[in-house]
Structure 1
Amino acid sequence: MPKPILLAIDDDTSVLEAVVQDLRRHYGQDYRIVRAASGAAALDICRQLKERKDTVALFLSDQRMPGMTGVDFLQQAMCIYPNAKRVLLTAYADTEAAIRAINSAKIHYYLNKPWDPPEEKLYPVLDDLLGSWKEGYKPPFEGIRVVGVRWSALDHAVRDFLSRNRIPYQWLNPETNPDALALLKEKGIDDAKLPVILFGDGTALVQPTSTEMANKVGLRTQAQQEFYDVVVVGAGPAGLAAGVYGASEGLRTLVIEAAAPGGQAGSSSKIENYLGFPEGLSGEELAKRAFLQANRLGAEFLTQKVSCIRSENQYRILTMADGQEVTCHVCLLATGVDYCKLDVPGADKLSGAGVYYGAALTEAMSCKEEAVYIVGGANSAGQAAMHFSRYADHVHMLVRGKSLENSMSKYLIDQIEATPNITVETGTEVIAMGGESHLECLTLKTPRGEEARQASSLFIFIGAAPKTDWMPEELCRDSKGFILAGPDLKAQSPKSWKLERDPYLLETSVPGIFVAGDVRFNSVKRCASAVGEGSIAIQFVHQYLATL
């Protein structure tokens, strides 16, 4: 971002040089010092700076200049930069005129020449003026801006991708911010094609895909090598742990994630029962720490979606959505699970437009002073309720069961009970949703009968299901899609294992393909458990590699 400007004006070149040197010595680190030899030249400079959208913090002008006095210049400059501080340099003979100009030209201060020493007579005055100017100054935002409407599934997907990848951005909603449309008009972009991402370099992406966003913000979408010892699919807690241990133990390790590091746990507002963090930590912070740790140890990360895995002899070949392929000795599946969809009228139509699966923390600020509804009674729902209670006027937890005791940790139950703007409604479920462009109402089945409620935000946490349909047919799964491994594989599908040796603890029906975390059959659905499985999976990877 360009530095704010201090503009010095004097027709006497020796005096002007002295002013500039004094300003540069004391303020050069934080401000750009610009000079002009007359009032007319200074006005031209002001107009040019305004066109370039530069900021002037202070004018320091001599009074006695031919053609235009300092007071005349400051009066005109005030129209161009009304918030800039205005200081007049005067001789003792001009003191009375300077005092009168404080009212007429709204001059903030006048200084008598000479001002030596500046440490006593110049800098204290300018320090006070610039300190006051900074208090009201809001520097222009020059980072990524997302122009999109709140009730749009595409807009939500864009903001969610940027947020979960920790990419700072400013969201501009044209419905509440008219300047957003002006920005699009400047670039010749049709405002009917929202969302649009505007970048500081002047480029834009219109209705971008996750791959387009990843490429633009600097995430890696092309593998650096063609072959790896182990490729981890999924960067949730299990995948991140595998990345840390694989890389630290000298394996060429690639971690592939379609969305963002952290997985479902990454969207948790606060995890309070994770070992070693007595005050708790957010899922985002946990994911960030693990990502940085794995990266530092040498694991490579790729933002891509895996569409196919096939085996050729002792090699596993992964095909990405864009067609590129990566080969490895071992593939570890740590894809986690997704929240189950709520199968009621209106749910599909309003998904992403007031109806969200998971925490959707990007929507928290939008819910300020509104009523928020959360469906579910497990820890993820409780963490979300606590988070949204900081923004929403009221949070309603809709729980189908009779209580939270059988599905939620005690510490969360206690926190919810102690939070006055959270109401737990047991024996209650959503049976319909309504709204045109976005969610407007809910129909609930309660112990008292059916009820209609006005609602604009609904967050759903109703169990989880694995997304394993794309995986090879020879990979054995249970009826729900969870991957069988180790003893469970031998017990559930003994004929699917073809080797003489028993499968390793986390090895699937395809030798060389392992599984860890929530996607594994019979896994414990806890963050710490997933981390443990991802860690010990590398032990079995070493054992498998030793047999090749």
Structure 2
Amino acid sequence: MTNPAILTVDDDPAVSRAVARDVRRRYGDRYRVVRAGSGPDALDALREIKLRGEQVAVMLADYRMPQMNGIEFLEEAMDLFPRARRVLLTAYADTDAAIDAINLVDLDHYLLKPWDPPEEKLYPVVDTLLDAWIATPDPSITETRVVGHRWSAPSFAVRDFLARNLVPYRWLLADEPEGGRLLKAAGLTPDDVPVVVLPDGKPLVAPSEAELAAQVGLTTTPTSDFYDLVVIGAGPAGLGASVYGASEGLRTVLVEQRATGGQAGQSSRIENYLGFPDGVSGAQLTERARRQALKFGAELLSAREVVGLEAAGPTRLLKFADGTSIAAHSVVLATGVSYRLLEAPGIADLTGRGIYYGSASTEAPSCAGEEVYIVGGANSAGQAAVYFSRYASRVHILIRSGDLGRSMSRYLIDQIEGIDTIEVHPHTEVMAAQGDGHLERLVLCDGRSGQTRTADAAALFIFIGAQPRTDWLGDAVARDSRGFVVTGADLVRDGQRPTGWTLPRDPYHLESSLPGVFAAGDVRADSLKRVASAVGEGAAAVALVHRYLAGQ
């Protein structure tokens, strides 16, 4: 941690050197002495310190300076470091101005020049001010900071990306004092948000996911242009394939467009996964798997979108959205599924501003004491309802069917029935979302009577259906009518292998219509949509990759 700063400002080089020398002699072992020759230069130094999340303990400014006098400087400096102690250096003739400054800039002390000997005239004053500052210092901040608006969809997207990639950050509202001070230090306004301030003080204005990933330490560039195995998608299936592929000696790279964990990574608590009797959050489970894959030597590329798959003889070529590509002997498709869009008036306009797909756990504290609605009746919806019940005054689960038993595990149903603040609304659909700039109301319809009603709502979380992320595959591999990848025996019809199949054997169980390309997890047609089965399919796919590479 960098020591707190003591800032000295004086336009006279001799005086500036003298005050910095005397301060450094007494406090240099505990504080960093920063010297500036003018008010503007000092403000630039303070902005840099602010963006780096460091502290300023005391500011000593000369009164008589061109461009900006000491009082004007301290007035602006207060906006950046309101808790720093302020001292004005004056000549005897300027004492009236110094006294007036006590009220104008909340001056802590003024010192007459010269201050010799410092042991009598300087150090006792600074000692007292440092003791007072230590009692209530500005906090040091070493993590990434995000400044934005609560009802800004781009601000939510940045926060969600960082949270899902387990990058620690501090959230600051642009219209609150600390957020405003950071924006001012960066020379920005609330209209520029979201702004991400990195630990080294570098501000990023409305960064793309790729830019953000590269700046917060996520790997975005492959170390090679050819691998034994490329795994696309870092959900449970992709992580399972990466762990087994790397641990068994295959040069493996895992490519993820959004965040490690997929939909499972957003789950607040998974309680039916083998080996975790007390449950485990999706983030914890996937972070352990990520570390395990890296330990065995797998590469993990973040914020990289794969847009094409081609066969080039025995090589499988994967194209990225930025025009680059990598090649491999084999590929595991583990891109999972995304939640189906809810088609109703107002939903699209308010997405990211009170309406969210998935659990969006970053919004939980903002839901304290509010009415929250969840659409969907599968396990992910049930886990979210239990999680948000810790914050919201009431959680409403909306389902089109008559009860939760058709699609939700019994253990979750029992939990929900035991929580008084969760209410299930069967045969209910969202017809419209309303609000001025953010969600305020929902129009709900009873599917039995056809009657509609309006309900106040602070947030809506959508968990409906599942659509595979396979449009980018085009005709490279066979897919069913819903877009899921068809594999194994399902590709063989009346003894006929799929069109274009060039090998003398039938496709392996998890193999697609393109030899050497396998599918695992939710993206595969007729797969069991559970975390454990996805991990198992990822591991099984690697065993089949070995058979393929051996020419069996």
Within a 5 Å distance, the mapping from 1:336-485 to structure 2 comes to 336-446=336-446, 447=448, 449-485=451-487
Q: Which of 347-356 and 480-489 deviates more?
A: 347-356
Contact residue 340 and residue 465 of structure 2 kept, 8 A: yes
Q: Name the CA distance, whole Å, in 2 between partners of 1:374 and 1:546.
A: 49
TM-fit CA distance, 1:134: 7.3
Q: Which residue of 2 aligns with 1:209?
A: 208
Q: Deviations over 1:490-516 (max 9, x none)?
A: 259945252320111110000011100
CA-based RMSD of the aligned residues comes to 3.7
Q: What is the aligned partner in structure 2 of residue 529 from structure 1?
A: 533
Q: Work out the CA distance in 2 between the residues paired with 1:209 and 1:466.
A: 24
Distance 1:191 1:79, change over 3 A: closer
Letter in 2 for 1:193: D
Write the distance in 2 (CA, Å) between the matches of 1:403 and 1:56. 57
> 1:368/1:136 Cα in 2 relative to 1: closer, same or farther (>3 Å)?
farther
Using the alignment, how far apart are the partners of 2:81 and 2:310 within structure 1? 57
**Residues 411-433 of structure 1, C-alpha deviation per residue, up to 9 Å, x if partnerless?**
11111111121111112111111
Equivalent position amino acid for 1:484 in 2: V
Per mean C-alpha deviation after superposition, the further-off stretch among 439-448 and 217-226 is 439-448
Asked if the contact 1:305–1:321 (Cα under 8 Å) also holds between the matched residues in 2, the reply is yes
Query: Which consecutive residues of structure 1, in runs of 5 or more, have no partner in the other structure?
Result: 7-19, 35-42, 59-75, 83-104, 109-125
The alpha-carbon deviation at position 137 of structure 1 amounts to 5.0
Q: Match of 2:323?
A: 323
CA distance in 2, matches of 1:518, 1:135: 55
Taking only the aligned residue pairs, the percentage that are identical comes to 49
State the 1:47 CA deviation: 5.6
User: Contact between 1:340 and 1:464, CA under 8 Å: does it hold in 2?
Assistant: yes
One-letter code aligned to 2:542: I
How far has the Cα of 1:178 moved from its partner? 4.1
CA–CA separation in structure 2 for the residues paired with 1:351 and 1:466: 21
Instruction: Tell me the number of residue pairs that the alignment of Structure 1 and Structure 2 aligns.
Output: 474
Equivalent residue number for residue 490 of structure 2 = 488
TM-aligned CA deviation for residue 288 of structure 1: 0.5
The letter of the residue matching 1:287 is T
Describe the SS at the equivalent of 2:521: coil
Q: 1:142 deviation in Å?
A: 3.9
For 1:277 and 1:544, how far apart are their aligned partners in 2? 34
Name the counterpart of 1:544: 548
Q: 1:56 to 1:393 in 2, by over 3 A?
A: closer
Call closer, same or farther: CA 1:180–1:502 in 2, change over 3 Å.
same
Contact residue 347 and residue 432 of structure 1 kept, 8 A:
yes
Using the alignment, how far apart are the partners of 2:218 and 2:5 within structure 1?
35
**5+ long unaligned stretches in structure 2:** 7-24, 34-56, 63-73, 86-101, 110-124
Moved over 3 A (4+): 3-6, 31-34, 43-48, 50-58, 78-82, 133-138, 491-495
* Deviation (angstroms), 1:180: 2.3
AA partner of residue 442 (structure 1): L
Residues 4 and 54 in structure 1, CA contact (< 8 A), matched pair in contact too:
no
Q: Say whether the 8 Å CA contact 1:268–1:380 is kept in structure 2.
A: yes
The alpha-carbon distance between structure 1 residues 502 and 300, as it changes in their structure 2 partners (threshold 3 A), is same
Residue identity matched to 1:435: G
State the alpha-carbon separation in 2 of the partners of residues 361 and 492 from structure 1.
49
For the residues of structure 2 that align with 1:244 and 1:430, how far apart are their CA atoms?
41
CA distance in 2, matches of 1:44, 1:370: 43
Determine the structure 1 residue equivalent to 2:252: 253
Distance 1:81 1:465 in 2: 63
**Aligned residues of 2:148 and 2:190 also touching (Cα < 8 A):** no
> Matches of 2:474 and 2:395 in 1, distance apart?
43
Query: Could you list the per-position Cα deviations for residues 370-418 of structure 1 after superposition, in whole angstroms to 9, with x for gaps in the alignment?
Result: 1110011111000001111111121111111111112111111111111
- What is aligned with 1:117? none
TM-score of the pair, normalised by structure 1? 0.78
Partner of 1:90: none
2:524 aligned partner: 520
Distance in 1 (alpha carbons) for counterparts of 2:317 and 2:108: 62
Deviation at 1:352, TM superposition (A): 1.5
Specify whether residues 395 and 243 from structure 1 end up closer, same or farther in structure 2 by C-alpha distance, changes over 3 A only. Answer: same
User: Per the alignment, in what secondary structure is the counterpart of residue 541 of structure 1?
Assistant: helix
For residues 226 and 202 of structure 1, the distance between their equivalents in structure 2, rounded to whole angstroms, comes to 34
Q: 1:426 to 1:173 in 2, by over 3 A?
A: same
Contact residue 4 and residue 56 of structure 1 kept, 8 A = no
- Aligned partners of 2:320 and 2:202: how far apart in 1? 27
Distance 1:137-1:275 versus aligned 2 partners, 3 A rule: farther
CA offset at residue 198 of structure 1?
1.7
Residues 276 and 47 (structure 1), Cα distance of their counterparts in 2 relative to 1, 3 Å cut: farther
Residue 148 of structure 1 is matched in structure 2 by: 148
Tell me, in whole angstroms, the C-alpha distance in 1 between the residues paired with 2:273 and 2:107: 56
Matches of 1:467 and 1:296 in 2, distance apart? Answer: 28
